[in-house]
Amino acid sequence: MVQIEFLRPKSLEELFSMLRQYGKKGKVIAGGTDLMVRLKKEDRMPDYFIALDGIEGLRLVRQGETGIMIGAMTRVHALQTLPIVNERYPILYQALSQLGTPTIRRRATIGGNLCNAAPSADTAPPLMVMGAQLNLIGTEGERTLPIEDFFYGPRLTCLGDNEVLHSIHIPMQKRNIRGRYLKMTRSQGADLATVGVAVWLEMEAGSIKDAKIALGAVAPTPIRAIVAEDILRGEKPTPTLLEACAQAAVAASKPINDIRSSADYRKSLINTLVKRAISQAIDL
Ligand X SMILES: Cc1cc2nc3c(=O)[nH]c(=O)nc-3n(C[C@H](O)[C@H](O)[C@H](O)COP(=O)(O)OP(=O)(O)OC[C@H]3O[C@@H](n4cnc5c(N)ncnc54)[C@H](O)[C@@H]3O)c2cc1C
Cβ 27 vs Cβ 52: under 8 Å: no
Distance CA 198, CA 213 (A): 6
* Site for ligand X contains 100 (CB under 6 A): yes
Strands (E) in the chain, as ranges, are: 5-7, 26-29, 48-51, 61-64, 67-71, 133-138, 141-146, 151-153, 156-157, 163-171, 177-184, 195-204, 207-216, 223-224
* Site for ligand X contains 192 (CB under 6 A): yes
Q: How far is the CB of 235 from ligand X (least distance, A)?
A: 32
List 18, 29, 208, 248, residue binding ligand X (CB under 6 A): 29
Nearer to ligand X, 167 or 245 (CB): 167
Q: How far is the CB of 282 from ligand X (least distance, A)?
A: 26
Nearer to ligand X, 143 or 209 (CB): 143
* Site for ligand X contains 167 (CB under 6 A): no
Distance CA 190, CA 207 (A): 36
* Site for ligand X contains 213 (CB under 6 A): no
* Site for ligand X contains 126 (CB under 6 A): no
Cβ 165 vs Cβ 72: under 8 Å: yes
* Site for ligand X contains 164 (CB under 6 A): yes
Window contacting ligand X (CB under 6 A); options: 11-19, 108-116, 235-243, 257-265:
108-116
* Site for ligand X contains 32 (CB under 6 A): yes
Window contacting ligand X (CB under 6 A); options: 16-24, 111-119, 206-214, 227-235:
111-119
Window contacting ligand X (CB under 6 A); options: 29-37, 60-68, 143-151, 269-277:
29-37
Distance CA 102, CA 129 (A): 25
Look at residue 62 and give its three-state secondary structure.
strand
* Site for ligand X contains 19 (CB under 6 A): no
Distances (CA, A) of 17 to 12, 51, 78, 155: 9, 13, 29, 25
Window contacting ligand X (CB under 6 A); options: 145-153, 157-165, 220-228, 250-258:
157-165
* Site for ligand X contains 112 (CB under 6 A): yes
Q: Show the CA angle centred on residue 74, arms to residues 99 and 10, nearest 5°.
A: 145
Distance CA 11, CA 32 (A): 20
Cβ 123 vs Cβ 88: under 8 Å: no
* Site for ligand X contains 121 (CB under 6 A): yes
* Site for ligand X contains 50 (CB under 6 A): no
Within 10 Å of residue 268's Cβ, how many Cβ atoms?
13
* Site for ligand X contains 85 (CB under 6 A): no
List 91, 96, 130, 165, residue binding ligand X (CB under 6 A): 165
Residues that bind ligand X (CB under 6 A): 27-35, 37, 52, 72, 76, 99-100, 104, 107-109, 111-113, 115-116, 120-122, 159, 164-165, 190, 192
